[in-house]
Amino acid sequence: MGGCISTSSTSSCSSRSNGETISPSCLGRKRIRKTFSDHVTSLQHLSSIPNRIFTNGKSRTSCIFTQQGRKGINQDAMIVWEEFMPEDVTFFGVFDGHGPHGHLVARKVRDALPLKLLSFLYSNESKRNGSSTTCCNGNLKPDGGDFEKDGTMEDKVDTLWREAFLKSYKAMDKELRSHPNLDCFCSGSTAVTIVKQGSNLFMGNIGDSRAILGSKDSNDSMVAIQLTVDLKPDLPREAERIKRCKGRVFALQDEPEVPRVWLPFDDAPGLAMARAFGDFCLKEYGVISIPEFSHRILTERDKFIVLASDGVWDVLSNEEVVEIVSSAPIRSSAARIVVDFAAREWKSKYPTSKMDDCAVVCLFLDGKMDSESDYDEQGFSSVTLQSNHSGNAMESDDGQNSEPSLQRNFTVRSSEENDPYRRVPVEVEGNGESLVAEDQNWSGLEGVTRVNSLVQLPRFSEERPKS
């Protein structure tokens, strides 16, 4: 497969991991395709890889935009990587960091996770078929004679992608744990990632960044379909796992809608999600980095996908975001307009709260974007949108399925923050959290008037209470 998956026996071709070029039958759009070794070689120059965008801007089929909030450095990261693999395969994701070094964790995951996914896909196929691979035409169709005759093919493809997502997420967290220059003990990141292969979506998600689908119903009206579940500590199976591992789950009295994860021996760190990269202070107590994997086949009614961090979902509903994107005057400005709407909602609904960072990725499924002239008329670069309030324009390049509910993240708190350790039992269905600023004596609540992903760093002493 060489990172390619196909249900068509006529699209088989030979591609070798030692750097040989792929045979012409796999060229698809008559472009020279890169082998995995080419990808590895270019790892040192990620920012210059064609068709890979990670700062404010647009590509052939998407637009992305992030804006720094009012709590310090922008800890959100995002990516769209077209031609991620041959034949209409795109990788896109949003990563929301938290903790003192959350911005570095989010960027590291953004850069390393896609390559780990590629590596496992190529490795898997190499083990099964030697060095030969199957060309990736990207079209799994649920109907049709050939597909019905081989009813197990979809299951095989699903299993392959599931395994690749699980292994790549595990390897990513392992790398963060052993990273010599990045302290992830009390810092981490969410990840909502999607690989679009033809009409297939393969999705992996940890944390509370969210993906939705804009689609048309039988009345030709736009509707919002939530693709991922916000993995909060009060979800029954998440809470059960955390408590089984001796972690504690409860909400503070002044934010009863925000369940958090706490150490068994300290009222810290108060992580407002059940799964995340990093956050190794809680990995022994039920917080995991295993992604929720799902597979969806697109239809002609599906129009676009939106990925966003919780800074957007805190103040805008799924339906509102779909309405904003579908009514954008030009597609290439859709992500920016969503962020602008979110910023206005923050000021209107929560005037005493500090706006969270926002990151948005909009992918249009018909593959069409605006003309260059239309884009330039709006005053934006056709390659990179630079915003006066963007938080990562100059950043370094280092740096099964539950039924989703259509509701907001509910992570906003009032300006009153007295006695942060007043607690209430977790019996609330809430969704969301936020980011944090970095400081020498870092405290998630100090000087911040809205919910953060962490409350405070744990204060470890030499003697811990015996369990």
- Least Cα distance to 169 among 147, 195, 191 occurs for 191
Q: Which helix (H) or strand (E) holds 106?
A: helix 102-129
Chain centroid, CA 343 distance in Å: 20
Residue 458 or residue 130, greater confidence: 458
Confidence band for 451, pLDDT divided at 50, 70 and 90: low
CA distance 317 to 291: 23
Q: Has this prediction a pTM greater than 0.85?
A: no
CA distance 288 to 273: 10
46-50, 227-231, 384-388: which is most confident: 227-231
Partners of residue 25 on adjacent β-strands: none
Assess whether pLDDT exceeds 80 at residue 170.
yes
User: What per-residue confidence (pLDDT) applies to 117?
Assistant: 94
The domain limits of the chain are: 50-393+403-424
CA distance 189 to 104: 9
Residue 263 or residue 158, greater confidence: 263
DSSP string for residues in 226-274:
E-S----TTSHHHHHHHHHTT-EEEEETT-TT-EEEEETTEEEEEES-S
| Alpha carbons within 13 A on the beta-carbon side of 69 | 31
Assess whether pLDDT exceeds 80 at residue 201.
yes
User: Is 50-393+403-424 a CATH 3.60.40.10 domain?
Assistant: yes
Residues 264/220, Cβ–Cβ less than 8 Å: no
Q: What is the mean pLDDT of residues 33-55?
A: 66
CA distance 80 to 94: 9
